Amino acid sequence: KQQQQQQIVAGPGKALSKACQHRLWPEIDRISMEQLRYARLGVGEGGWQLFAEDGEMKMYKREEEVNGMVVDPLKACHMVRGVTGHEMCHYFFSPDVRMDWETTVEQMTVIETIAEDTLVFLQVHKRIWPASQRDSLFWSHMRQVPDHNDRDGHDIWIVCNHSTENPDFPSNNGKFVRVTLTVCLVCQTFIDPPKDGAQIVRDNITCKITYCSVVNPGGWAPASVLRAVYKREYPKFLKRFTAYVIDQCKEKPIMF
């Protein structure tokens, strides 16, 4: 119990997530913490291949197939100036702004609010010709975790998205093929302290981002089409999303 409590304490003085009463909580807690550990492993081992690079953004994949379907895991690393990890995760999690930056989604619905930091989303994605149109149903959980390895005490923020089921929204209902996904965005803020104890401004902060994703297309789609979509969509997403957060934050007070 004590060990479990340690894992779900959001930070010094912070309350436990209200989601901990929910039937999905053991899975949400376990997968979020597994994803955090996975994101923090380097890309030096494990067969990661660099497939896209743009300035400090680097994207790696491992080519994997399950029953002939491409399920290549992706890991992306980036350094973004002028925003905090909390801000990055806030905009990635929030349904209010999802359609402002997300270019693969045609329709988004929050089907359940488990807690203010834990939602269940149903998304209909844009169709890629010649494949059938896809939808996805997943819980999304945002959390602050203390970093015990960091002597400067920089906290880490994580958003984890993971497929789930709901009998009211059955998969493969004839209209869409359901994709399954496990995605995490892990962010850490670094502060370059201003001289003479001046106030911290956006020029003094940098956010280290790790984004990991595994998407199973759920039904047959040509491998060449899938890999071409990956190669185009992931860099587009990370560039567009980070530019969006920088733009949203620039005139606002820093949210640590």
Alpha-carbon torsion (198, 199, 203, 204), positive or negative: positive
Strand pairing report for 134-145 and 74-81: unpaired
Beta carbon of residue 46, minimum distance to ligand 16C (angstroms, whole number): 20
Shortest CB 15 distance to ligand 16C, Å = 26
Cβ at position 162, least distance to ligand 16C in Å:
9
Which residues pair with residue 145 across a beta bridge?
156
Q: Does 102 bind ligand 16C (CB under 6 A)?
A: yes
Collapsing DSSP to helix, strand or coil, 218 comes out as coil
- From the list 24, 181, 223, 246, which residue makes contact with ligand 16C (rule: CB under 6 A)? 181
Contact status, residue 141 vs residue 121, Cβ threshold 8 Å: no
Nearest Cα to Cα of residue 160 among 210, 205, 200: 210
Q: By CB under 6 A, is residue 128 in contact with ligand 16C? A: yes
Looking at the Cβ atoms of 32 and 254, the one nearer to ligand 16C is 32
DSSP 12-60: TTPPBPGGGGSTTHHHHHHHHHHHHHHHHS-SSSS--EEEEEETTEEEE
106 scored as a contact of ligand 16C (CB under 6 A): no
Of 139-168, binders to ligand 16C (CB under 6 A) are 161
Q: How many angstroms separate the first and last alpha carbons of the chain?
A: 30
Choosing from 94, 104, 144, 204, the residue that interacts with ligand 16C (CB under 6 A) is: 104
Q: By CB under 6 A, what part of segment 204-243 binds ligand 16C?
A: 215, 217, 221, 226, 229-230, 233-234, 237
* 199: number of Cβ within 10 Å: 7
CB of 212 to ligand 16C, least distance (A): 10
Whole-number Cα distances in Å, 251 to 82, 194, 219:
11, 19, 44
Q: Is the Cβ of residue 126 or residue 250 nearer to ligand 16C in the bound state?
A: 126
Binds ligand 16C (CB under 6 A): choice among 84, 118, 136, 189: 136
Kindly list the residues in this chain that would bind ligand 16C in the complex (CB under 6 A). 102-105, 123, 125-126, 128, 131, 134, 136, 161, 179, 181, 183, 215, 217, 221, 226, 229-230, 233-234, 237
